Structure 1
Amino acid sequence: MHNNNHFVHWFRASSPYIHSHRNKTFVVCFGGEAVLADDFEHHVHDFALLNSLGIRLVLVHGIRPQIDLRLAAKQETPRFHKQLRITDACALQCVKEAAGMVRVEIEALLSLGVANSPMAGAKLKVASGNFVIAKPLGVIDGIDYGHTGEVRRVDSEAIHQQLDQDNVVLISPIGYSPSGEVFNLSSEQVATSVAIALKAEKLIFLTEQDCLHPKDGTAMQQMTTLEAMALLENYPEFPEMLSNPLKAAIHACQSGILRVHLINRNQNGALLLELFTRDGIGTLISLQPYEDIRSAQLNDLAGILELIKPLEQQGILAKRSREKIEMEIADYIVIERDGLIIGCVALHPNQEGRFGALACLAVHPDYQRSARANRLLDYAYRKAKQLNLTKLFVLSTQTIQWFIERGFLLSDINSLPEPIKAFYNPQRNSKVLCKELDE
């Protein structure tokens, strides 16, 4: 029964994402290592599921290990300069062979429809083609890169035509010139260029490891582009298998892609966990913070009411009507996380008397014990100082100690300014706390 309840809770919680992702274009990039892995079919099942949920899906695959295997078979040594392969005639032949083989393998897996398997009844249609026009990288630092190229243009119209027919588009890291030449490309650059050309809602990189901070090994759940650039600058030893997609993510965000995800592909169901849960399991890159603290607006009203209603029912917060909150919405501060109001506090100022009343401090149960209440309080302090307030009051029944630990002192009802005292409810018997603000 517990497992059933867990599934029902997860399924209901995922429904907003199912709705919001439908008819959106996602570009997913994964390396040749993923294709060689024993569990790659799990990713294919997840690709099929995304397609069945109405997501317009473009897959870009890498082929680096497959090329290296073919070069080794020819007793040739792979050559690189600045993390880019030098593609001579022999290497180009290996590139063509690897790209063709990997593409066929992926198409075969996407075509599975065996009964009693996740692909049963999927009936996926896969489209590949010469969607990427490329040009030679040329000679850099005296190094001739040969047939290594860079993206010149993406035929976005042709890709959109395939997506409009509910096809999954599969793109290899190969580009073609108008004169018929073939160029070996970086899969990260191809995926980024395709996402930008399509104006995709998301660009997703399936990486070989978690994105951990080099200093302390903590997971980095989200970064702005500025934070990502600082990370790469301050830690030049950051792993190549993460730095390349991170650089691509920065470029994508700066070019109009709202969100780029880096997800460790080694966790089963990683793609689903990232896309259909609020906190995900990967690293989100965006121009602006994913979680924002700000002044409330009228369209936050429903979120505030939903957040405080359980606390009102428990008697932790005094009941407030929808109309009262709406009238005082300018006094509220909220924390918004991916469209959900997860925290709020109200600062009701009296600028004439230079005092304020804090009220309605609440944090969503899933996000407690993570210092968000402190963030709300700090924001309220800053706002109070901007309004030249010198004293804050709080009426509390069950969070008295929390406020005392943050510098508030117990007082009595007689210390309350008349405008606050007028709303004091003797039946609640709230404790009065006060804090002086530094001038």
Structure 2
Amino acid sequence: MPKLNDVQNTALEIIDFIYFFDFVSLSTITARKVDIYERLNDLVESLIVNKNLKGQEAETYKHYLLCGVEILATYNAVQELNYTDPNLTERQKQEVNKQVNHHRLNLVWNALLEEMRESKVSEKSFAKDVVMLTIKSGIGRASHSVSFRLVAQMLAFEQGGNISCHVYRRLIKLKILNSSKETLQDHYDEIDNKHIFLRALLFVEFEMLRKRLFCEYGDQPLIMEVAPNDILESIRSRREAYYQKYQSLLNTSNNFIRINNNVDVMDSEQVQRYIKSISKNLCHNRIFSEFKGTWISLFGTWHLICEKGFELDNPIYAAMKNDDSCSARAEETMRNQYGFVISARSLKDCYNRVKNLYFFIRDCVNDIVEEPKHGFIAPDLATHFYYHPNMSKNLLEVLEEIKG
């Protein structure tokens, strides 16, 4: 297998990062979310039409509107903080809570506006638009699960599919990642899907903003304690690699290229320069890269799981008459929607390798969204499923066992 260059390695980190959120969105969808997301999407589309925005300008403004809504909707004015001062009365604690939470909200909001300036997006009426969307959609009053990682969930909801697979397809088109015999050249609609790549990278930038703010203002610093003597060497090395990457992020400036208005997303050299510029700010370790099989089989497995979620009684795979199984339907989707050739049997095998990690992600995220709203400044969600030093030894070993 040829050695990957730095740009290709970062490109696969981006794919892995988005694929993780594809799993999160797939595993947490509910009827309540669909109802609110449909209302929110209709409101956003109407707003875009009224502003006479089109093409990339419309997609970028839509993205930032959803960023603003997520920030407002996940903000909890009555969030409780821990205090060590025994002299504060309950009323004084509530007042401090209110002040701290308003401060954090303003901090995040100003950081988002700065991102818009870097991307050359107009702020005119933006705050008013976000407040209107938050109120009229009902998302501000909805549960934490509805607003949790809204930008990622709305992207998956709008496009109705596997976002990481679209990004992978574009990176092949740009010859940044290599094609293979599994790729059909004329089976992907570049026109209909032309804005997904842009929106996906805007989402990555939004999550990089969260990561940077948590590094600066979060109250859970990453601590590299001495690993227990009986910890597996494979766990120890991954744990140390994660810590080193995190330290590099802390020492990285925020001067990466913004995708909007600075990069022609159909120009390979410009996209490569962009990918190189965000490498350290991304700070992601690939979660799925060690599974046997290709990325195409992983994408197909996402669709297999999706099929199984809607057709509970349908088998994953049948040795005889497999034409309508979940794996057969996923095989057909991969060919017709993305132009990737992968057999139903390969998808079944990949599913058997990946399913435990999918269920682990699903169960953990469902536990997280049952917690009170905690605002935008929070740990990067993907770090819950890698080998960061704050993980307990037991959890690290569970993760190692799941990955096989």
The answer to whether TM tops 0.5 is: no
Task: With the length of structure 2 as denominator, give the TM-score of the two structures.
Answer: 0.23
Q: Which structure carries more helix by proportion? A: 2
Higher relative contact order (CA 8 A, sep 6+): 2
Q: Which structure carries more strand by proportion? A: 1
